[in-house]
Amino acid sequence: MPSLKRNTNVQASVGLEHKTGQVVLRLMNSQLLTWRIPISLIMFGAVFSFLVAHDDAAASAQVQAMQQDAGRKTVVAQKTAASTKYADAKDAAKKQDYLHQIAIGDAYLEKKHYDLAIAAYDKAAEINPEGVQAKLHRADAVRLKSQYDMGLARSNRTIELRPDDPMGYVLRGKAYVGHGRYELATADFNRAIQLNPRNAEAYENRAHSHFKTGHYDQAISDFSKAIQLESSPTQ
C-alpha cells in the first residue's frame, strides 16, 4: 500500500511538471509573437522611409534638370534674338548703302556725267547683286552714253570732212551739252557762229550752255538773238 501511494504521487508530480512545461512554452510563444509585430512595423517603416526619400531625391533631380534645361533654352533664345537684331541692322545698313550709291549715280546722270554714273551703279550692284534698280539705271546711263559717243563720233567725222561747215560744230556742241561738258560745247557754238553769224540754232544751243553754267545774262542775250534770227531769217 505505501508503495502504491508513492507511485501515485510520482505520477501526479510528473503530470504537473508536464502542464507547467506547456504553460511555459505557451508564454514563450506569446512573448515571441508580441515582439514580432513591432519588428515588422519597424521594418515596414524603414522601407517606406527609404522609398519616400528615394522619390524625393528623384523628384528634386528632375526639377533641377528641368531648371537647367530652361536656363539653356533661355540663353539660346537670347543669343538668337541678338543675332537676329544684328542681322536686321546689317541688312538695313546694306540697303542704305545700296540706295545711296544709286542716288549718287542718278545725280551724275542728271549732269550728263555718264562714266561716273555707271561707276556708281556698278558699286551699288556690288553691294546688292540681286538689286534690280541699279541695273535698270545703269542700262539707261549706258544707253545715253552710247548716244553721246555716237553723236560725238559723227560730229567729229563731219568736222573732219567739212571743217568750214558750222553744222558740224553745232552737232558736236550739242553732244558736249548732252555729256555735261559745257565749256567745250560753248567753244563749238562760238565757232559755228563765227562761220555763220546768222545761225539761229547755234545761238539757241549756246544759250542753253550759258544757262547751265549760270551765265544767265548771256543766256538771255543768246535766246533773244535766236528768236530774232528765226523771226527774220533773211535779214
What is the CA angle 172-173-178, rounded to 5? 95
- CB contact set of 156 (below 8 Å; sequence gap of 6+): 172
The CB density around residue 2, as the number of other CB atoms within 10 Å, is 5
Indicate if 162-235 has the same CATH topology as 85-143: yes
The arrangement of secondary structure in 85-143, i.e. its CATH architecture, is Alpha Horseshoe (1.25)
Could you tell me the pLDDT band of residue 64, with boundaries at 50, 70 and 90?
Answer: confident
Q: Which three cell numbers stand for residue 104?
A: 549718287
Q: Which of 1-10, 11-20, 97-106: highest mean pLDDT?
A: 97-106
Task: State yes or no: pLDDT of 49 exceeds 90.
Answer: no
Nearest to 128 by CA among 162, 87, 100: 100
Q: What pLDDT shows up at residue 144? A: 84
Nearest to 134 by CA among 112, 104, 111: 104
Q: What pLDDT shows up at residue 235? A: 52
Alpha carbons 62 and 27: distance in angstroms, whole number: 53
For the chain, give every domain's residue range.
85-143, 162-235
Q: Which three cell numbers stand for residue 80?
A: 538668337
Tens of pLDDT, residues 8-25:
554 545 454 555 555 545
pLDDT, mean of residues 74-83 = 68
Q: What pLDDT shows up at residue 44? A: 52
Mean pLDDT score of the chain, rounded to an integer?
78
Q: Which helix (H) or strand (E) holds 140?
A: helix 133-161
Q: What pLDDT shows up at residue 4? A: 45
The arrangement of secondary structure in 162-235, i.e. its CATH architecture, is Alpha Horseshoe (1.25)
